Copies of this chain bind each other. A is one copy, B any other.
C-alpha cells in the first residue's frame, strides 16, 4: 500500500500497517519528513509521481493522508498516474472529499475513511503505530462504493487495530458536526465569555476545565474542521442555539429550565450506556449491503473482524 502524506495520521498508519506485516511505502512533501521516516526504517520518497507509479505498477491501495486543501492537487496526480488503484482517505469531513474525488473522476475506486483518533501533535515524529488501536474508523457506504475496495479498506483498518463504523458520508458529516465541531464552538464561546469576567478564572474548576478543554486545540485546526463542514455545522448549531435561547428566556422570566436540563441529562445517560454491538451478519457485495451496513452503523454497530465478501475466495 501507498500512503500519501506522512504526518500524524499518515505516519502512524505507515507504522501500523508495517507492524501488521504489510508492504507499505509512502510520499511526503517535505524532505524532512521523508528523511525522518527513512531514518526510522520506512520506505519513503519526496517524489509524488514516483510513489504513484509504483502504486499503479503493484496495484497498491492508495491512502490519501494530506490536509483537505492539498487534496484536489493530489487527486489530479492520482488520476494522471494511478487511476486504477483502490483509493481511500483519512480526512475528517467526508462530503467535501467525495465531491473532490468525483470532480477528479475517481469515484469508482474510492471509499472514504475517517479514523477518529489523533493527538495534539503533528508530523512524522508524532506518529504512533498504536494510534488506531480500539478507536472508531468510519468507512463510507455511499451508493457508489465498490465491494472489493470497501473490503480492502476495512481490512486495513482492522489490521491497524481499529474497529470499523460503516456510515453514509452525509450522515457522518452531520454526526461529526454534532459531536466534534459543535463541542469545539461551544468550548470557544465558553472560554471567550469567561475571559471577560473578572474572578472567573480564579473560581474555575472542573466544569469549566472540561467544558473548555478543546478550546486548547490549535485555532487553525478548529477553523479548518468547522469551516470545511459549515453546511452541516449550521443546522446543529441552530438547534443548540434554539435550546439555549429558550432556556435563557425561561431564566429571564424566573421559569424553570427543566426541559433542557432533563433532555440533556437523559441524552448523556443514554450515551453512557450506548452499546457497540458487533456487526457479523452482513456479506459485503450482497443485495442491499450498503443500506444494511449504514443502518447497523447508525444503531451503534461496529465491525471488529473482517466481514465476508460475496464471490471472494476468502
Contact = CB atoms under 8 A, between A and B. Distances in A.
Given A226-B257, A239-B193, A243-B189, A202 B268 contact: no
A13 interface: no
Interface stretch (A71-79, A96-104, A152-160, A229-237): A229-237
Contacts of A203: 116, 136, 138, 165, 167, 172, 175-176, 179-180
A30 interface: no
The A interface is mostly helix, strand or loop, or mixed, namely: helix
Contacts of A243: 188-189, 192-193
A126 to B, nearest CB: 17
Contact of A215 (B208, B218, B237, B264): B264
A245 B258 CA distance: 23
Nearest to A199: B175
A243 B188 CA distance: 9
Interface string A263-291: 11111111110101000000000000000
B207 A210 contact: no
Contacts of A248: 234, 237-238, 241
Contacts of A207: 179-180, 183-184, 187, 213-214
A297 interface: yes
A253 to B, nearest CB: 9
Contacts of A136: 202-203, 205
Nearest to A301: B202
A254 interface: yes
Interface residues of A, number: 96
Contacts of A217: 265
A105 interface: no
Contacts of A210: 183, 210-211, 213-214
A197 B178 contact: yes
A70 interface: no
A201 B165 CA distance: 12
> Residue among A174, A182, A226 with the most chain B CB within 10 A?
A182
A244 interface: yes
A133 interface: no
A183 to B, nearest CB: 4
B262 A219 contact: yes
B178 A257 contact: no
3 residue pairs, one from A and one from B, having the closest CB atoms: A188-B264, A195-B267, A183-B211
Given A165-B203, A175-B202, A230-B252, 17 more contacts: A171-B198, A175-B203, A183-B208, A184-B261, A185-B257, A189-B240, A189-B243, A189-B264, A192-B243, A195-B264, A195-B271, A217-B265, A223-B258, A227-B256, A237-B247, A241-B248, A244-B244
